[in-house]
Amino acid sequence: MVDADSNTPKITLHWLDRSRSQRILWLLEEANVSYEIKRYKRDEKMLAPPELKAVHGLGHAPVLTIGDRPIAESAVIAEYVSDHFAPQLIPQKWKDGCEGKLDGETESWMRYRYYMHYCEGSLMAMMMLALIPMAMKRAPTPFFLRPIVSRIAAQLHAAFVVPGFATHLAFLEAELASAPDGGPYLCGVHLTGADILMSYPLLVARLSLDGPGPLNKEKYPKLWQYTELLETTPSYKRAVGRIVELEGKYELL
């Protein structure tokens, strides 16, 4: 692990349970950098505690502080950490002889840039939509209203969540099939920051609050194999192990 000297600002990960924060913990482990974890707990309504607003005005997690500077948004954090500590997580940008030219970027780098934004834009928006009907079914409701609420939740799930996830998962299955140099990662042969960001929504897609999620081995074999590959990465295991050591368990949802 890279140890910080006396002139290097302290790195602190502000980690919220059952959140996207775990990806940043994995990122820091993969970057082999010295850091500290400050943990926060969701309340009974699954909301982040107000203490996080003292770190960053939006009160969201994850946030990485470098000394006194807060860095928010997962993709920004991933790019910052990769730039400073883990350049191996960034694919080669230019094709040989095409440096600085329009359309001179490698396929791996273009995918990397795309997935850094797709993950937090299109895919996580779908993930948040999926949580709404699940939360509706779990919310405290008078017994005489439960059948109505359950029916509305089921209709939302069938009308928006099921077809939405099917579109995204089919797209990603095809992307893995066409990965540069045969993969096995989304951007090619090597693990990138984009794979680390993509890990959370895809691992969650294997689950739901009520059982198995939309991502299954039979329908999406390449995606399933990809998520298993991510879980076997030594730095991923170390990140999970740190939370188990601190919290006693690790939960995605």
At 17, which CATH number? Answer: 3.40.30.10
Query: pLDDT value at position 127?
Result: 80
Least confident of 139-143, 169-173, 202-206: 139-143
Q: Give the number of domains in the chain.
A: 2
Do 61 and 168 fall into the same domain? Answer: no
Tell me the C-alpha distance between 161 and 165, whole Å: 6
Is residue 251 situated within a structural domain?
Answer: no
Model confidence pLDDT, tens digit, residues 61-86: 999 999 999 999 999 999 999 999 99
Tell me the C-alpha distance between 11 and 2, whole Å: 12
Tell me the C-alpha distance between 149 and 88, whole Å: 49
Do 157 and 220 fall into the same domain? Answer: yes
Given a cut of 70, whether residue 132 has pLDDT beyond it is: no
Is residue 30 situated within a structural domain?
Answer: yes
Top pLDDT among 203 and 142 is at 203
Contact 152, 50 (CB under 8 A): no
Do 205 and 138 fall into the same domain? Answer: yes
Do 62 and 117 fall into the same domain? Answer: no
Do 74 and 156 fall into the same domain? Answer: no
CATH of the domain at 132: 1.20.1050.10
Query: pLDDT value at position 115?
Result: 98
Query: pLDDT value at position 128?
Result: 76
Which of 77, 111, 81, 70 has the alpha carbon at shortest distance from 93? 111
Query: pLDDT value at position 69?
Result: 97
Query: pLDDT value at position 130?
Result: 74
Which of 172, 175, 200 has the alpha carbon at shortest distance from 188? 175
**CA-CA-CA-CA torsion sign (166, 169, 173, 174):** positive
Do 133 and 43 fall into the same domain? Answer: no
Over the range 13-46, which residues count as b (16 or more CB within 10 Å of their CB) and which as e?
Answer: bbbbbebbbbbbbbbbbbbebebeeeebeeeeee
Which of 191, 205, 204 has the alpha carbon at shortest distance from 235? 191
Do 111 and 229 fall into the same domain? Answer: yes
Given a cut of 70, whether residue 163 has pLDDT beyond it is: yes
Do 142 and 227 fall into the same domain? Answer: yes
Q: Tell me the residue length of the chain.
A: 253
Do 77 and 133 fall into the same domain? Answer: no
Question: Which contacts qualify for 200-205: CB closer than 8 Å, 24 or more apart?
Answer: 200/20, 200/22, 200/23, 200/252, 201/119, 201/123, 201/124, 201/127, 202/172, 202/226, 202/227, 202/230, 203/227, 203/230, 203/231, 203/252, 204/127, 204/252, 204/253, 205/127, 205/165, 205/169
Do 24 and 71 fall into the same domain? Answer: yes
Do 151 and 179 fall into the same domain? Answer: yes
For residue 57, the SS3 value is coil
Instruction: Report DSSP letters for 42-55, one per residue.
Output: --TTSPPPGGGGGT
Residue finishing a domain among 41, 62, 89: 89
Contact 198, 244 (CB under 8 A): no
| Strand stretches in the chain, DSSP E | 11-16, 36-40, 63-66, 69-72, 207-208, 211-212
Taking the complete model, does pTM exceed 0.75, yes or no?
Answer: yes
Range of the domain at 116: 107-233
Is residue 94 situated within a structural domain?
Answer: no
Instruction: Please compute the mean of the pLDDT values over residues 180-209 and round it to a whole number.
Output: 94
Instruction: Please compute the mean of the pLDDT values over residues 2-18 and round it to a whole number.
Output: 82
Given a cut of 90, whether residue 6 has pLDDT beyond it is: no
Contact 89, 82 (CB under 8 A): yes
Tell me the C-alpha distance between 10 and 56, whole Å: 17
Query: pLDDT value at position 173?
Result: 98
Tell me the C-alpha distance between 28 and 225, whole Å: 24
